[in-house]
């Protein structure tokens, strides 16, 4: 990003509240989340901002990806990658979607939680297609010969819920769709309707296929992957030798994988006064579901799916796929159905550079908005500008009763696990009744805005959940606004500065919640509107800087070459090696040896922590080998989990017996299963000769 203009900017970036900025140690050059760990491995999620209802195809040397965007516009982002880990942005297939006042936030109407969702991305004979649902409308079709755009838009003659299209080998096109009961039909040649008489119900509700179909033909067989939340989020699959079946169903090719993340706060009602239920540490976040599979040029199968994570939204994950008995299980041999949070990247013919689809910070010096930005509903084009004051985003105020109804709010997806947007605002152009600033668009929402009244300028923090406002009179029109957002605790704290250097907290912590009204995670929003219903002024936004203290898959680097103590999380004791035996007790030092690809061997004296084929763990003589190798994986909340390369299961300490085995499928929510560890550097004893 071209940095310019203001001496206060560098200080604004450097300054921060302690809970986000103290102790942050991102890898060199990392400014925003990337799944690529730089050592041949990746860590889920692929993006730490919302990317829901994913669909993916391969065309030539490239993989292409799109997903749901609901009421945000432009919509349907199209990304591409050569390694499934590093992605670049190409285009939005839908510039805007306008089917009446609700799409424009007019007449008290809105399309929050509606709009564009559950797209099916396909390719045939030189043309890319995206079929997407829109509430209350027929299915939309977007097509192009160049995924960089432009895209052509037309509408089908009917709506097909959570559809997936298959272009078969014989030139015919089929579509599968439905919620709980699932239908199939052949499509007309122009793809706008189904061929009369070809529709059939494939699955009843009792068959457990759910919704979110992904339709494939692999090795002469037809496969349908889907999502089902009845009885717990999971991914069923069905297969048949003929397109119309009969199909047999596998109830779970992926199940229970939330990487140990617990569920977050829950919204009990949809209107004020809001009641927010606290998190249940023992309850899992929404596990991986709704996705598909794809084959790489190297012959590897990979799965993609999403999970309901926290107030940051629904996140996209990449999974190695293991075929067994003709079924594509997400996961590794010995641990089918479960996805390692960190694993080896897909093989490619040549190494791929680290890439991210979006640059989140913006100084508004470009001629067009960066693709990270999306409007909240259809924008009023004549009421915003990047040209009226070069180097600034100008938002002219339009009448609105509240931030929820405000038009021309410019948003971007919040990014986890923690991030802090700092907005530089010039409020000199505001008129009586205007308010402008930084918002956390969600339900409930929070806004930190500058209000103009006859008495002057007032800074107000408004928490919609509590209905409370905190106000401070400000004597300057230029002000810095910040929201420190922690999506692991779902708490946000606001602060402001009059010089860009020293920030002052304002108000109480705001609780962020994922809910199904917007059907999105939190979005950072720049807003300006007039509360009095008349013609207002304008707000000039100079810059937005998004700081991320943890932009990669490890909050702490792997301590290669060091001696560490491994303590059991939420339990007494830890890993202890004594007298040639491994057991639970006061932790003893292990030297961390680098086994490549983010893997470690743990050495005690001349021995190594090893795992037998049945999962039993103990000390084994060196030299270090595969039996002594563990994938070093952090849970989303930062604890250590060690996955054995022998069993593809996780090391655990049995709280009752103290037995140590590598037999756990993965960290459970709450952390009481003995799988998580904390580690500290070991203090060398006085007799240490330099060997462990």
As a whole number of angstroms, the distance between CA 83 and CA 355 comes to 11
Domain identity same for 133 and 75: yes
In a domain, 518, yes or no: yes
Domain identity same for 166 and 233: yes
DSSP letter for each residue of 403-455: GGG-TT-EEEE--SSEEEEEEEEE-TT--TTEEEEEEEESSS-EEEEEEEETT
Domain count, the chain: 3
Domain identity same for 321 and 421: no
Domain identity same for 242 and 286: yes
As a whole number of angstroms, the distance between CA 661 and CA 647 comes to 10
In a domain, 461, yes or no: yes
As a whole number of angstroms, the distance between CA 393 and CA 380 comes to 14
Radius of gyration, CA atoms only, the chain: 26
pLDDT at 645: 98
In a domain, 82, yes or no: yes
DSSP letter for each residue of 177-215: EEESEEEEEEBPTTSSSBPTT--EEEE-GGG---EEEEE
User: 203: domain range?
Assistant: 44-344
Q: What is the CATH number of the domain that holds 442?
A: 2.60.120.200
pLDDT at 603: 98
Domain identity same for 510 and 607: no
Domain identity same for 423 and 540: yes
As a whole number of angstroms, the distance between CA 553 and CA 436 comes to 35
pLDDT at 24: 32
pLDDT at 345: 98
In a domain, 171, yes or no: yes
Domain identity same for 567 and 543: no
pLDDT at 5: 43
Query: Considering only CA atoms, which of 208, 205, 215 is closest in space to residue 239?
Result: 215
pLDDT at 535: 81
Question: From the CB of residue 367, how many other CB atoms can be counted at a distance below 10 Å?
Answer: 7
Domain boundary among 522, 547, 572: 547
Question: Are 544 and 422 spatial neighbours (Cβ–Cβ below 8 Å)?
Answer: yes
Domain identity same for 232 and 97: yes
Q: Which residues of the chain have pLDDT under 50?
A: 1-30, 686-692
Q: What is the CATH number of the domain that holds 242?
A: 2.115.10.20
In a domain, 229, yes or no: yes
Question: Are 293 and 301 spatial neighbours (Cβ–Cβ below 8 Å)?
Answer: yes
Domain identity same for 129 and 158: yes
In a domain, 654, yes or no: yes
Domain identity same for 580 and 533: no
In a domain, 5, yes or no: no
Domain identity same for 495 and 638: no
- Does residue 246 have a cis bond before it (omega within 30 degrees)? yes
Domain boundary among 503, 521, 547: 547
Q: What is the CATH number of the domain that holds 650?
A: 2.80.10.50
DSSP alpha helix (H) spans, 549-679: none
As a whole number of angstroms, the distance between CA 455 and CA 351 comes to 61
In a domain, 472, yes or no: yes
């Amino acid at each position: 990003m071209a940095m310019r203009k203001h001496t206060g900017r560098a200080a604004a970036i450097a300054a921060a509240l302690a809970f986000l900025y103290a102790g942050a140690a991102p890898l060199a050059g990392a400014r925003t989340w990337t799944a690529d760990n730089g050592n041949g491995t990746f860590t889920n999620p692929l993006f730490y901002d919302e990317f829901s209802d994913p669909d993916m195809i391969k065309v030539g040397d490239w993989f292409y990806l799109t997903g749901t965007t609901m009421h945000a516009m432009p919509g349907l982002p199209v990304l591409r990658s050569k390694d499934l880990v590093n992605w670049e942005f190409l285009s939005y297939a839908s510039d805007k979607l306008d089917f009446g006042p609700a799409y424009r936030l007019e007449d008290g109407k809105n399309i929050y939680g509606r709009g564009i969702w559950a797209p099916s991305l396909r390719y045939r004979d030189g043309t890319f297609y995206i079929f997407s649902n829109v509430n209350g409308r027929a299915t939309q079709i977007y097509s192009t010969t160049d995924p960089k755009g432009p895209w052509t838009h037309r509408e089908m003659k009917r709506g097909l819920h959570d559809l997936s299209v298959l272009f078969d080998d014989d030139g015919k096109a089929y579509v599968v769709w439905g919620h709980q009961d699932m239908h199939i039909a052949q499509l007309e040649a122009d793809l706008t309707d189904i061929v009369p008489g070809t529709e059939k119900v494939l699955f009843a509700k009792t068959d457990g296929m759910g919704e979110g179909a992904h339709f494939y033909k692999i090795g002469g067989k037809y496969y349908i992957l889907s999502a089902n939340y009845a009885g717990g989020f999971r991914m069923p699959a069905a297969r048949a030798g003929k397109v119309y079946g009969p199909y047999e169903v596998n109830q779970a090719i992926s199940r229970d994988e939330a990487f140990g993340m617990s569920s977050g706060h829950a919204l009990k009602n949809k209107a004020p006064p809001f009641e927010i239920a606290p998190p249940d540490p023992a309850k899992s976040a929404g596990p991986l579901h709704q996705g598909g599979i794809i084959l790489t040029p190297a012959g590897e199968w990979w799965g993609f799916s999403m999970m309901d994570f926290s107030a940051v939204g629904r996140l996209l994950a990449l999974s190695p796929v293991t075929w067994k008995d003709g079924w594509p299980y997400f996961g590794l041999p010995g641990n089918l159905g479960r996805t390692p949070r960190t694993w080896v990247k897909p093989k490619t013919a040549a190494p791929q550079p680290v890439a991210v689809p979006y640059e989140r910070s913006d100084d508004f010096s470009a001629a067009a908005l960066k693709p990270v930005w999306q409007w909240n509903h259809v924008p009023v084009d004549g009421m915003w500008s990047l040209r009226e004051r070069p180097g600034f985003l100008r938002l002219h105020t339009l009448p609105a009763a509240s931030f929820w109804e405000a038009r021309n709010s410019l948003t971007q997806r919040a990014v986890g696990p923690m991030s802090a947007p700092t907005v530089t605002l010039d409020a000199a152009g505001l008129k009586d009744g205007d308010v402008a600033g930084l918002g956390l668009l969600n339900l409930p929402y929070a806004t930190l805005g500058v209000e103009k009244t006859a008495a002057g300028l007032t800074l107000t923090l408004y928490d919609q959940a509590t209905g409370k406002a905190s106000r401070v009179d400000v004597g300057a029109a230029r002000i810095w606004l910040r929201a420190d957002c922690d999506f692991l605790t779902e708490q946000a704290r606001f602060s402001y500065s009059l010089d860009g250097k020293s920030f002052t907290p304002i108000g109480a912590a705001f609780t962020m919640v994922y809910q199904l009204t917007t059907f999105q995670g939190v979005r950072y929003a720049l807003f300006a509107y007039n509360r009095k219903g008349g013609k207002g002024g304008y707000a000039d936004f100079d810059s937005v800087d998004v700081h991320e203290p943890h932009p990669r898959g490890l909050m702490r680097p792997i301590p290669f070459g060091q001696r560490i103590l491994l303590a059991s999380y939420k339990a007494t004791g830890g890993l202890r090696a004594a007298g040639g035996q491994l057991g639970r007790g006061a932790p003893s030092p292990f030297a961390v040896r680098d086994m490549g690809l983010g893997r470690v061997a743990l050495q005690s004296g001349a021995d190594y922590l090893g795992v037998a084929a049945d999962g039993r763990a103990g000390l084994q003589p060196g030299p270090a080998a595969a039996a002594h190798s563990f994938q070093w994986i952090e849970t989303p909340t930062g604890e250590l989990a060690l996955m054995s390369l022998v069993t593809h299961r996780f090391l655990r300490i049995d709280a009752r017996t103290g037995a140590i085995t590598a037999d756990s499928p993965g960290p459970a929510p709450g952390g009481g299963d003995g799988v998580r560890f904390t580690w500290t550097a070991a203090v060398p004893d006085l007799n240490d000769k330099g060997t462990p």
